[in-house]
Structure 1
Amino acid sequence: MKRVRILLADDHTMFCAGLQELLEPDYEVIGSVGDGRALLNVASDLKPDLVLVDLGMPLLNGLDAGRELKKRMPRVKLIFLTMNPDSDVASEALRIGASGYLLKSSGRDELMQAVRNAMEGLSYVTPQIRRAIEQSYIRDPRSLSRPRHLSDRQREVLQMLAEGQSMKEIAYILHISTRTVRFHKYKLMEELRITTNSELVRYAIKHSIISPP
């Protein structure tokens, strides 16, 4: 029987090594990447069945990378493995097509259950977050389908600005002109009614586009 091919996406090398050790008796770990852009670049070549992805990756966060990956490879399974216990973020992960959402404090058995569920077409959310999602949905049935305020490109630019990348560096990474980066920056600042770079950083942290320092 063909073993499930798993790709790891997390910027902590030692954590990836530990995950690989946990998974390899039962699954084939085909590689690891340290940022969201690298994930998008290698996934089409490696063709994983499932990706274990962290939220707080540089250059492109796990949520936005996962959203784009599901557009490109609809059949790939996504499980978010993160330190972020925010039920709103978990809801958004499920909305984009994730099969699971676990905390990094979860045990091995929970991880294995999530992988099995994903490959069987089911979902798995760590219990404390699942309860929070259910309570949020009871209060507001629209909470699982909140529209995104920013475009994908604006979110990309926002993340890299908040991480301290210069406009020139962002233009190089995104293969666009510095002038276009500048346009996106001031457009999103206008839409968000933000006037300073520090406010941009606070917004990015608050909305889980980057992780707190």
Structure 2
Amino acid sequence: MSASITVVLVDDDALVRTGLRLILGGAPDIDVVGEAGDGRAGVDLVTELAPDVVLMDIRMPRLDGLAATAELLAREAPPKVIVLTTFDTDDMVVEALRIGANGFLLKSTHPERLVESVRAVAAGEPRLSPSVTQQLIAQVAGAPRPDQGGTEQRREHALARLDSLTDREREVALAIGQGWSNAQIAARLYMGVPTVKAHVSRVLDKLGAGNRTQIALLVHDAGLTGETPTDPT
């Protein structure tokens, strides 16, 4: 049997931590190895336990989840970090993704989705919820969308970066912006999964992005989140 995915929970609400532990504890391949009630304690615990994945709340005492995430991801061998959030976290969600968080989940996420997301992130595929990601980015980012004015400079910069991609790479970037997994991209754009992974690697390299969440944010900045990827051939 393969080793379990080790997880640390960081949230100042003990009830939330208990619920997460119960949900994840039911998965045979996931092992919750520790939990902390604030960001500073969380960072210290991650240093001690070196888990594969950290579920990180945003609003916490001593050190908030945003600062804790930045501190963890700046390390030489960082864990995967999934930000836990609610709709009232505003632009902190987007900032967490810009820092390089491997994804985020609403605290109301269905248990099966939570378990599947932890597995995906541990496997190196940051998880963006197709039904929630764009809604959060567009509605709570604290700034108007490109088509609403006021972000033209950011839009032009994002479009210029996307222009460096080939047609196929651009379709893959748009698919990532929609929250599609590699398997979904392969099925909908008629490619093999290894080919998709190769395209994703090239897109990351060309855009100077650290992970898929940053690609999705670039697509958002370009005003292309409503554009559905299609097979260009």
**What pairs with 1:133-148 in structure 2 (closer than 5 Å)?**
133=137, 138-139=146-147, 140=151, 142=154
Q: Name the CA distance, whole Å, in 2 between partners of 1:100 and 1:61.
A: 17
Aligned to 2:134: 130
After superposition, give the CA deviation of every residue in 1:131-189 in whole Å (9 maximum; x if it has no partner): 4426866544738x9xxxxxxxxxxxxxxxxxxxxxxxxxxxxxxxxxxxxxxxxxxxx
| 8 Å contact kept, 2:23–2:115 | no
Verify: 1:105 aligned to 2:121, yes or no: no
Partner of 1:186 in structure 2? none
Gap change, CA 1:21 and 1:132, over 3 Å in 2: closer
Q: Does 1:22 align with 2:23?
A: yes
| DSSP-derived class of the 2:4 partner | coil
TM-score scaled by length of structure 2? 0.55
Trace 1:46-125 onto structure 2 (pairs within 5 A): 46-72=49-75, 74-86=77-89, 88-125=91-128
Given that residues 9 and 32 in structure 1 are in contact (C-alpha distance below 8 angstroms), is that contact kept between their aligned partners in structure 2? Answer: yes
Alpha-carbon RMSD = 2.4
Q: Which residue identity does 1:123 align to in structure 2?
A: P
Is the alpha carbon distance of 1:44 and 1:72 closer, same or farther for their aligned partners in structure 2, counting shifts above 3 Å?
Answer: same
Unaligned runs of 5+ in 1: 146-213
- Given the superposition, is the C-alpha separation of residues 77 and 62 from structure 1 closer, same or farther in structure 2, using an over 3 Å criterion? same
Give CA-to-partner distance per residue, 1:101-136, whole Å, 9 cap, x none: 111112112212321221222222332332442686
Given that 2:58 and 2:89 are in contact with CA atoms closer than 8 Å, whether structure 1 keeps it comes out as no
Higher mean Cα deviation, 97-106 or 47-56?
97-106
Change (3 A) 1:129 1:71: same
Moved beyond 4 Å, runs of 4+: 134-139
Query: Compared with structure 1, are the counterparts of its residues 41 and 70 closer, same or farther at alpha carbon in structure 2 (3 Å cutoff)?
Result: same
What are the ranges of 5 or more consecutive residues in structure 2 without an aligned counterpart? 158-233
Counterparts of residues 2-17 of structure 1 (less than 5 Å) = 2-17=3-18
**Which one-letter code corresponds to 1:142 in the other structure?**
R
Helix, strand or coil at the partner of 1:57 = coil
- % identical aligned pairs: 36
> Any idea what SS the aligned residue of 1:63 has?
helix
**Residues 1:3 and 1:60: Cα distance change in structure 2 (over 3 Å):** same
State the 1:45 CA deviation: 1.0
Q: C-alpha deviations, 1:53-90, integer Å up to 9, x for none?
A: 10111011001111111112543100111224556322
Asked if the contact 1:8/1:31 (under 8 Å) is kept, the reply is yes
- Confirm or deny: 8 A CA contact 1:8 1:29 kept in the other structure: yes
* Code of the aligned partner of 1:5: T
2:13 maps to amino acid: H
Partner of 1:72, secondary structure, is: coil
Aligned length in residues? 144
